[in-house]
Amino acid sequence: MKKTFKLTDLDCANCAAKMQDAIQKISGVEEASVNFMLQKMTVSADETKFDTVMKEIVKVCKKIEPDCVINY
């Protein structure tokens, strides 16, 4: 399953790159892309585990960019 999410308050391209790297290391994530210019994140993950994976993604992203909100 592949989904795209709007990001709010993602402040820098470096943070976006760090978020992308961290998300790709999460178990269950097949592919991840964080685009700073478009303020969007695309995640591909197993449909049966998607909610669990998203909870982990939110945690990881909050550590890197505390002000960033993933709208899903």
Using CA atoms, how far apart are residues 19 and 70, in angstroms rounded to an integer? 12
Q: What is the pTM of this model?
A: 0.93
Q: Which domains, and CATH codes, for the chain?
A: 2-71 (3.30.70.100)
Using CA atoms, how far apart are residues 17 and 22, in angstroms rounded to an integer? 9
Going by C-beta distance under 8 Å and a sequence separation of 6 or more, which residues neighbour residue 28? 45, 46, 49, 52, 53, 56
pLDDT at 7 over 90: yes
Using CA atoms, how far apart are residues 33 and 72, in angstroms rounded to an integer? 16
Mean pLDDT on 40-64: 96
